[in-house]
Structure 1
């Protein structure tokens, strides 16, 4: 036996062959992984809005509104309060998983509509709900909004739902119970 380590012929064809085998193994792994993957949908979390509503109501100098309860099958998914300038938000999903948002601030109706509905939203008349006249706005994307100026605040309720759904929701709005 020779004391030299074994040698093999190195060639470009051998290197290309080795790379093709490596790529085939990687491709097989990727295909195997895709076939055995369970698509995990990220569930929308439900949040508790009442405590934040009570806190926010104590901080603002206008009558803050929040739903006294949510309609059957609805769930709150986001809540936020910004003290300066005062802005209140609750996002909800209906039983059909359609978004309905409640926004309240000192901004004008027009500013609220441009911000939360569309810059080119069209006014579609008014509706009476909860003892207040609410202007109805729509946009080309299918959103409908009800907007009311009450005291020093503007309240806007918006979503891609029928106006009647928003009217029923507005009927549930009240200052939060402490």
Structure 2
């Protein structure tokens, strides 16, 4: 019988395969809701890294206090510089609208550091009022940013979130040294 298969046999085979694929799709759970997308990004606890950074950094390390629970930390790191005199603090978060925002701090050369963490954003017109302080605005193709340069440390709040959300994060920052 070999070589005598017909188009009818091929169509029947494809139908059986299609039924099997359909059954697998129906019975294997898959969740495409907004909650699934929200839960796809892992939340991290940054308390230990924050304590470590505050002990190691030569500047007061800033972290948010009092943000609503709808803000979720997703990444955290502190990298000491090779000479041991400073380093870079990073805390990445998702805002309530699932937009990315990050706190970046360093005692490195401000211009280079700002370009690096904002992915090449350029200084924009105007300032952003955050509490009693004025922050410089930066606008980029990927990230917007609010930047505050102080003696010994540059703080950047950057991400895909709009300036208003970045300002909310900046307003919640409390800088401490252990």
Q: Smaller-chain TM-score range?
A: 0.7 to 0.9
State the Cα distance separating 1:102 from its structure 2 match. Answer: 0.7
State the Cα distance separating 1:29 from its structure 2 match. Answer: 1.4
Cα 1:120–1:156 change in 2 (3 A) is: closer
Larger Rg: 1
> Alignment length, in residue pairs?
168
- Cα distance in 2, alignment partners of residues 176 and 120 from structure 1: 28
Q: Which residue of structure 1 aligns with residue 47 of structure 2?
A: 50
Q: Which residue of structure 2 aligns with residue 6 of structure 1?
A: none
Flag structure 2 segments of 5+ consecutive residues without an equivalent: none
- Cα distance in 2, alignment partners of residues 116 and 82 from structure 1: 14
State the Cα distance separating 1:113 from its structure 2 match. Answer: 3.4
Q: Which residue of structure 1 aligns with residue 89 of structure 2?
A: 88
Q: Which residue of structure 1 aligns with residue 110 of structure 2?
A: 109
Matched, 1:157 2:157: yes
Cα 1:52–1:125 change in 2 (3 A) is: same
RMSD: 2.9
Q: Which residue of structure 2 aligns with residue 65 of structure 1?
A: 62
State the Cα distance separating 1:67 from its structure 2 match. Answer: 1.2
Flag structure 1 segments of 5+ consecutive residues without an equivalent: 1-9
Cα 1:36–1:78 change in 2 (3 A) is: same
